[in-house]
Structure 1
Amino acid sequence: MESDILKDLQEKLKLTDTEASAVREKALEPYGIYKKNLDKYRQFLASFVDEHGYPLREKSEAELETFQKYYQLKDEDVVRLKKEQEIEYQKRQAEKLLREQAEILRQEQERAENKRREAELQERLKRESSLPGIQTKPFEFDTATLTPKSAGFLDRGKTYEINRSRGRAEFFTESLGNGVVLEMVAIPGGKFLMGSPESEPERLSYESPQHPVTIQPFFMGKFTVTQTQWKAVADLPKINIDLNPDPSNFKGANRPVEQVSWDDAIEFCARLSKKTEKTYRLPSEAEWEYACRAGTTTPFYFGETITTDLANYDGNYTYGSAPKGEYRKQTTDVGKFPANPFGLFDMHGNILEWCQDEWHENYNGAPKDGSAWLIDNDNQKLLRGGSWSGIPRDCRSACRSYLARGDRSGSVGFRVVLVRGRT
């Protein structure tokens, strides 16, 4: 209609198309300015409603009225925009409620599945945890899962809560002399997918491809080797190389030993094996990841993200939507945080752990039986688990790194395994 009026005026005033276009632009200029101001108000209102919610309080209405007057907006336009935003807000709230209800249902199903797996695990442990001359006994431990408490809008402001429970596993103690013992936890055999899925945040290419691996039952150190345990074994007769009985940078009897090379760890295993007449060694990379995951498939065994309430890493950095946390700048005593479902402590963070394997750029051609990948006698050896100085991404169950076999670091230690059958 407006176009027809302008065209009629153009003919009556005998204006050229250029002159008519200039008149049209001038005539419509106030409308364009008003429309821009209306869009600014719409954007402000959307963020305002997200922050304050509905119904708006008197103070909030007054603030919006000031904004309206500044842009000289009509009441009927503001009323329409408010109604639109109220409908959108209610829609978002309904969607949020549905997400929260779905999450509650998922958690209930997960807890039921965890109970089922726990019962199955206990039955398997009874069958698999015996070795000639070894008597296991049960122990209980605290474990935890990290679940979303509040989803927030578009995951902003998402909060988590720690749900603690009691776990149960089998173990035996190995005497190292002078009252020092090594606690070895029975890990049941099973199958799992090794590596990270492509959908996992911050994954790295050398965690691919995911591949099925079958693991035989074995025993694994409940903790990384402590400084007390290291000294006890370092004092045993030499097999191949000398060992420094006190190499660690961060001193503490129950802190993990660090500043030990891969060759040092191999010598430790050799001396321990000779003393006990059992075959102790470093875990294969597959055994380590299987033991760390403990039947879980999330980035961490306690859930989709990580907090410094559950592990020791550089809390200045975050993973996913989790908040920042504490940066302790050193190792902590082993067992400070809850164990994973297998009863193993500090599998995420605190100290990186040597594995048997050589470094490979991906899993193409990797063993599927859980054995160590030893092809080229490479100088680069596998590390797993993240550390006190690392970022949370590096603490994931699937994350892998390496150092030269002779390197030592204040962020690197190890734990041992004892395997029935294969050595």
Structure 2
Amino acid sequence: MSKEMSKEWKIFKKDIDDSINPQTFDFQVAFIEIDQSATSVNNNDNVLEQLNEAVFNKTEKYLTNIEQKVLSGALENLTYKKIYEQIKKSANYSESEEHLKYCIGGQLWKVLTEIIGEQVNKRNVKSLINKWAARSPLTIHRYSAQATGFIQELDNDTQLEMMLIPGGTFVMGSPPEELESEQRESPQHTVTVQPFFLGKYPVTQAQWKFVAQLPKRNRELNQDPSRFKGANRPVERVSWYDAVEFCDRLSQYTGKNYRLPSEAEWEYACRAGTTTPFHFGETITTDLANYDGRYTYGDGVKGVNRGKTTEVGSFGVANNFGLYDMHGNVWELCLDDWHDDYKGAPTDGSPWFDSNKALFDKTEYAVMRDGSCLSKPEVCRSAFRVNINRNYRLGPDIGFRVVCAVGRILR
């Protein structure tokens, strides 16, 4: 256990089940910087830096030294022979010119094609990168971080990773000046949240399938409800009642208290100490999240419209609490009854219920957060909220993640 985790863990240990074994999770956090000045391919160093970040976002690997030299040579309209001669002089490269052309170059153009969205080759790379750079005023900065959590084993092949969300105070809702802010996100109010654990990812189809075969608590569950199939894709086409049943079965199986997050817990966890529209900053990009990239937010740029879910964590970046996919991919269900605004909302992070009915007796609308792969970017903001019928389960983009409570149990 690291010294950092040990210190943090001691704060909460008295409230935590002894069966939970803490672990340190390493992850990457991303922040978007908006550059108002136009980028030109004539500034090769700046373009190569941006392109290198885009390659990393796509492949989780930066361009090698040889690949960078091939690209720089292509931008200078050099022949492969000239590029090869330069590399031989300045780098330890023992392969043939044909290997450089067909293996190194071929793979490079393939990756750039995926990033730029048009077929790239050595002849057109300069013009296509110039067009790409001109439409891309965003720079993605990455840094390494660590957070504490635990792994809930389900079976030999399936586990649930839970991140410790430290308690704290935050301002919930959006300020009136935030772009696309809505009345339902106001008034802003201060909320103090107790520590809890939250799923690192939305619940996956593999996790759902395992829990769905456990003994019934209140209702039957379809073991394979999702439209966009994939063991590591988020489960979707589930209702609020289905999600509550999932939590009940998981609690019974593990002996721990699992539930849906309250709306305040969800926003606090999503923001992870930030006050901007997204935990990425003032805008969002499809290089970091799965939403409808045909639309933009603020100074953002158009991107990819995938039209379907992606595997959880596939963008390789989390927020400061180590949570992935908090903007887009699937909507995430919360416990609360729906309210049109925050007038009279609790300030202790608890779910806002209009009655003391048991969960399965509730008939009011519930709350969803996060936006989805089918959403415009403004819908994916940290503060955005929408209501949903608790019975509705037809949406191919509605999922959830789970809380494991610390120090208090919702009954």
Same fold (TM over 0.5): yes
Query: Counterpart in 1 of 2:31?
Result: 145
Query: Counterpart in 1 of 2:22?
Result: 136
Seen in structure 2, the aligned counterparts of structure 1 residues 343 and 381 have a Cα distance that, compared at 3 Å, is same
Q: What SS does the corresponding residue of 1:147 show, helix, strand or coil?
A: strand
Structure 1 position 125, deviation (Å): 4.8
Structure 1 position 421, deviation (Å): 2.0
Query: Counterpart in 1 of 2:400?
Result: 414
Structure 1 position 120, deviation (Å): 8.8
* Matched ranges for 1:8-27 at <5 A: none
Comparing both structures, which one devotes a greater share of its residues to helix?
Answer: 1
Structure 1 position 236, deviation (Å): 0.3
1: CA distance, partners of 2:200 / 2:303: 26
| Off by >6 Å, runs of 4+ in structure 1 | 119-122
2:201–2:313 CA contact under 8 A, matched in 1 = yes
Aligned length: 303
2:198–2:404 CA contact under 8 A, matched in 1 = yes
Query: Counterpart in 1 of 2:281?
Result: 303
1:230–1:257 CA contact under 8 A, matched in 2 = yes
AA aligned to 1:388 is: C
AA aligned to 1:270 is: D
Structure 2 stretches lacking a partner, 5+ long = 39-133, 356-361
Query: Counterpart in 2 of 1:19?
Result: none
2: CA distance, partners of 1:361 / 1:158: 37
1:285–1:357 CA contact under 8 A, matched in 2 = yes
Query: Counterpart in 2 of 1:351?
Result: 330
The structure whose RCO (Cα within 8 Å, separation 6+) is larger is 2
Provide Cα deviations, 1:119-150, integer angstroms capped at 9, x if missing partner. Answer: 99985455226432211110100110001223
2:34–2:299 CA contact under 8 A, matched in 1 = no
* Matched ranges for 1:356-375 at <5 A: 356-375=335-354
Seen in structure 2, the aligned counterparts of structure 1 residues 214 and 391 have a Cα distance that, compared at 3 Å, is same
1:187–1:219 CA contact under 8 A, matched in 2 = yes
Between the two proteins, what is the percent identity of the paired residues? 55
Structure 1 position 179, deviation (Å): 2.5
Query: Counterpart in 1 of 2:370?
Result: 385
1: CA distance, partners of 2:29 / 2:300: 19
Provide Cα deviations, 1:373-402, integer angstroms capped at 9, x if missing partner. Answer: 011445211000010000000000000012
Q: What SS does the corresponding residue of 1:146 show, helix, strand or coil?
A: strand
Seen in structure 2, the aligned counterparts of structure 1 residues 125 and 295 have a Cα distance that, compared at 3 Å, is farther
Of residues 141, 156, 171, the one that matches 2:149 is 171
Of residues 338, 341, 348, the one that matches 2:320 is 341
AA aligned to 1:415 is: R
1:125–1:187 CA contact under 8 A, matched in 2 = no
1:125–1:188 CA contact under 8 A, matched in 2 = no
2: CA distance, partners of 1:120 / 1:335: 24
AA aligned to 1:407 is: Y
Provide Cα deviations, 1:16-50, integer angstroms capped at 9, x if missing partner. Answer: xxxxxxxxxxxxxxxxxxxxxxxxxxxxxxxxxxx
2: CA distance, partners of 1:267 / 1:412: 16
Q: What SS does the corresponding residue of 1:292 show, helix, strand or coil?
A: helix
2: CA distance, partners of 1:379 / 1:275: 29
* Matched ranges for 1:186-201 at <5 A: 186-201=164-179
2: CA distance, partners of 1:175 / 1:243: 21
AA aligned to 1:180 is: T
AA aligned to 1:127 is: I
1:352–1:386 CA contact under 8 A, matched in 2 = yes
2: CA distance, partners of 1:378 / 1:122: 44
Q: What SS does the corresponding residue of 1:342 show, helix, strand or coil?
A: coil
Q: What SS does the corresponding residue of 2:244 show, helix, strand or coil?
A: helix
Query: Counterpart in 1 of 2:11?
Result: 127
2: CA distance, partners of 1:200 / 1:120: 35
Provide Cα deviations, 1:203-240, integer angstroms capped at 9, x if missing partner. Answer: 11100000000000100000000000000000100001
Q: What SS does the corresponding residue of 1:150 show, helix, strand or coil?
A: coil
Structure 1 position 171, deviation (Å): 1.2
AA aligned to 1:360 is: H
Provide Cα deviations, 1:169-214, integer angstroms capped at 9, x if missing partner. Answer: 0111111124311111111000000000111000111000000000
Seen in structure 2, the aligned counterparts of structure 1 residues 285 and 121 have a Cα distance that, compared at 3 Å, is farther
1:151–1:157 CA contact under 8 A, matched in 2 = no
Q: What SS does the corresponding residue of 2:35 show, helix, strand or coil?
A: strand
2: CA distance, partners of 1:398 / 1:323: 21
Query: Counterpart in 1 of 2:187?
Result: 209
Seen in structure 2, the aligned counterparts of structure 1 residues 384 and 125 have a Cα distance that, compared at 3 Å, is farther
Structure 1 position 422, deviation (Å): 2.0
Structure 1 stretches lacking a partner, 5+ long = 1-118
Seen in structure 2, the aligned counterparts of structure 1 residues 302 and 244 have a Cα distance that, compared at 3 Å, is same
2: CA distance, partners of 1:182 / 1:158: 36
